[in-house]
Structure 1
Amino acid sequence: MNKKIAILGVGLIGGSLAFSFKERTDYRVIGFDTSEATIDQAITLGAVDEGHTSLPEAVVNADYIIIAVPVGQIGLYINQLANLPLKKGVIVSDVGSTKAEVTKYGKILKDKGYSFIGGHPMAGSHRSGVQAAHALLFENAYYVLTPEPDSSLSDVEKLSHLLKKATHAQLVVMDAEYHDKVVGAISHLPHVIATGLVAQVGNYNDANGWFHRLAAGGFRDLTRIAASHPVMWRDILLSNREEMLPLLDDWIKQMTNFRQAIDRGDADWIEAIFARSRDLRQGLPDKKKGLLTPIYECSINIPDEPGIIGQVATLLGEHEVNLSNIHIMENREEMHGILRLTFRKLTDFERAIPILEAAGYSTYTENSKEVDHVHLN
């Protein structure tokens, strides 16, 4: 009998894991979802070998069980699994973006004699659902495992080997609480800040519509992640409340320092923090898969002539470069170029630049040499 992996939840992450296991291992992949339509679609796309809407049927005799449901539901599924006759030696993991709370739930399985090892693949997409899933989603991304100190070293090695072989990700072992502090700072806090900023400007816009009309460039880039799923982020923040509260306290302190510096006219402090942040930002890893979905964009200058946008799109199309979106920049403060081109894949972005430049267009990317703007009154 073939060894089996059960994926509970075949959306973007679960479906991509299913594709990875099917393409790169000899395991039989079983999908579970509460939606029969999702299961049918997963089977049709070839993500799973078979699918079920019955949890007991999906996990029977499974060697590995991966819980790929929203973080707010992981505890419920762990409780259900703990009350099922799972295969002896089964290894259970999850893909939730918070780990301390999930790891506590996992002890329920350990008490039943099963192995639970928390997991978090740090990759995603602006798209969702199994229709957006693919085996390359985790390629070279970090995949964090958070075993407890008393976890079986053999089981950790087995799961690590399987995931590395299937996903081609970079496996990292980390303490669950430390993981939550790290992702809280680099992912959860930015979502809170972006959401709060959009809400604040939205309140201003209720009284004067120019706030939204002029919102472009940096504002749109900074707040892109505020368009994330409300229920998912509600559950993530509540699940990670132990880490989020001190992170928010630190942020409030930082903003208080900003306010005080502006109030007292402290030019040196303001310049120093902008300079330090610029240096830190430029030192971040470039084009690395992570928690925040990357965007690949460049801007070009074009004359205001009929058909020019179509010419650009046709040029890229003739070279089989997939262009995701075109946006005319009306507000170009601190922005280069008139036409912003967006690509979903890094390969398309990298191919587009020389094609556009060979056609005579000047291209500007995030790494283009910055020009200091001096405003004269």
Structure 2
Amino acid sequence: MHVAVIGLGLIGGSLLRALRAAGHRVTGYDADPATRELAGAAGSIADAAAGAELVVLAVPLPVLPGVLAELAAFDGLVTDVTSVKDPVRELTIKSGLRRYVGGHPMAGKETSGFAAADPALFAGCAWVLCLEPGETALDDWLTLAALFTTLGARVVPVTAAEHDRAVAQISHVPHLFAAALARQLDGNPLAGALAAGSFRDGTRVAATRAELIVAMCAGNATAVHSVLRNLIDDLKAMDEALANDALTPLVELGGSLRRAWPARGGEPVEMPVSVDGLLALGRDGGWVTAVAENRVSVTTMRPETGRNGS
């Protein structure tokens, strides 16, 4: 498959390298001349996309309108890796993009840029592919599911709105919480000297570039506000429970949920392809591991239950 990757930071660069390693023809583009030279990329978006069957947009949300404008004449399939999906979906509708499937690989690390790109980054990761009833072409969705599962990803079918709520809970708000926790070091050298494993693990993503954290949270502001308020309410409840010697049940619940995560997949199950069936799979926390060559079925897995208190 001929794939063009627009934006060669950590995710885009890793995808370019993973696709090349898998034998696909890949072209790339990045706005930074040094990155283009390092990656052997094309000199423009148009040059990168010329002749491509698929274009992957791996640029920040604020840059997307300009990139989409340059792809106005492109009639192939387009996906993206942006960490918020509903705003991107709205942009693609406004731009008149003909074929679009929203995507988001749940993979990354605290380092960034093409130099940090890793072709094995997506092995075992959950890769969201949005499936909007009455809107997303199922054949296009299956094309991407087949491609990304060959990279080792677990493809999770959801709607854009469902994705945005979930990532606010497990990615966007945790970045803010990590930043707040890391600020305990401000003017506090003693705390810095004593900090060890729990502080390191709880603040790891606070090392992400601030503009990236702010961009992803601002792009998903409605869901982030709601989830952040819920987290603040939980912390207030813990504060009150501490004063009333009633903290144990709240901590026990968190511990039980954490020990049961990540859920192991059950037995592989072949499932006929349908929009409703795929969305039900995603809502149950399940995923697609392979697409049949005839595209009438997919291999799926659902999480086991009853493990470690779950």
Name the TM-score, length of structure 2 as normaliser. 0.79
Contact 2:2 2:54 in 1 (8 A): yes
Cα shift at 1:238: 0.2
Which residue is equivalent to 2:50?
A: 60
Distance 1:195 1:107 in 2: 34
1:30 maps onto 2:27 in alignment: yes
The yes-or-no answer on 1:142 pairing with 2:126 is yes
Deviation at 1:4, TM superposition (A): 2.5
Q: Deviations over 1:156-180 (max 9, x none)?
A: 1122212222x12111111111111
CA change 1:270–1:117 in 2 (3 A) is same
Q: Would you identify which runs of 4 or more consecutive aligned residues in structure 1 move more than 6 Å?
A: none
2: distance between equivalents of 1:158 and 1:202? 47
Provide Cα deviations, 1:135-156, integer angstroms capped at 9, x if missing partner. 2211121111013321111111
Q: Which residue of structure 1 lines up, in the alignment, with residue 298 of structure 2?
A: none
Q: Does the CA contact (< 8 Å) of 1:91 and 1:116 recur in 2?
A: yes
Q: Kindly indicate whether residue 87 of structure 2 is the aligned counterpart of residue 101 of structure 1.
A: yes
Counterpart CA distance in 2 for 1:287 and 1:228 is 28
- In the alignment, structure 1 residue 225 sits paired with structure 2 residue 205: yes
- Measure how far apart 1:250 and its partner are: 0.8
Using the alignment, how far apart are the partners of 2:115 and 2:190 within structure 1? Answer: 38
Q: CA offset at residue 222 of structure 1?
A: 1.4
Q: How far is 1:120 from its partner?
A: 0.6
Q: Is the 8 A contact 1:97 1:120 kept in 2?
A: yes
Task: Give the Cα–Cα distance (whole angstroms) in 2 for the partners of residues 287 and 134 of structure 1.
Answer: 25
**Residues 1-377 of structure 1 aligned to structure 2 (within 5 Å):** 4-25=2-23, 27-43=24-40, 51-82=41-72, 85-86=73-74, 88=75, 90-109=76-95, 111-112=96-97, 114-149=98-133, 150-165=135-150, 167-199=151-183, 201-203=184-186, 205=187, 209-263=189-243, 266-267=244-245, 269-285=246-262
Q: CA deviation at 1:133?
A: 2.1
Shift of the 72–158 alpha-carbon distance from structure 1 to 2, 3 Å rule, reads same
How much does 1:286 deviate?
7.6
Residues 246, 61 of structure 1: alpha-carbon distance in 2 compared, 3 angstrom cutoff: same
Whole-Å separation in 2 of the counterparts to 1:142 and 1:164: 10
Cα 1:210/1:168, change in 2 over 3 Å? closer
Q: What is the distance in 1 between the residues matched to 2:110 and 2:180?
A: 20
State the identity as a percent: 31
Q: State the match for 1:375 in structure 2.
A: none
Q: Would you say the 8 A contact 2:16–2:26 is kept in 1?
A: yes
Equivalent pair of 1:147/1:156 in contact (CA under 8 Å):
yes
Q: Deviations over 1:164-206 (max 9, x none)?
A: 22x121111111111111111111111111111222x245x2x
CA distance in 1, matches of 2:200, 2:114: 28
Q: Normalising by structure 1, what TM-score?
A: 0.65
Shift of 1:287: 10
Which secondary structure does the structure 2 equivalent of 1:96 belong to? Answer: coil
Size of the alignment, in residue pairs?
264
Q: CA deviation at 1:8?
A: 0.3
* Aligned residues of 2:168 and 2:224 also touching (Cα < 8 A): yes
Q: Distance in 2 between matches of 1:133 and 1:222?
A: 24
Q: Could you say if the C-alpha distance between residues 287 and 231 of structure 1 is closer, same or farther in structure 2, counting changes exceeding 3 Å?
A: farther
Give the Å deviation of 1:251: 1.3
- Relative to 1, partners in 2 of residues 1:192 and 1:155: Cα closer, same or farther, differing over 3 Å? same
Structure 2: unaligned runs, 5 residues or longer? 266-310
The answer to whether the Cα contact below 8 Å between 2:46 and 2:70 also exists between their aligned partners in 1 is no
Q: Which has the higher contact order (CA 8 A, sep 6+)?
A: 2
Which structure has the greater CA radius of gyration? Answer: 1
Q: Are the equivalent residues in 2 in contact too, given 1:8–1:66 (CA < 8 A)? A: yes
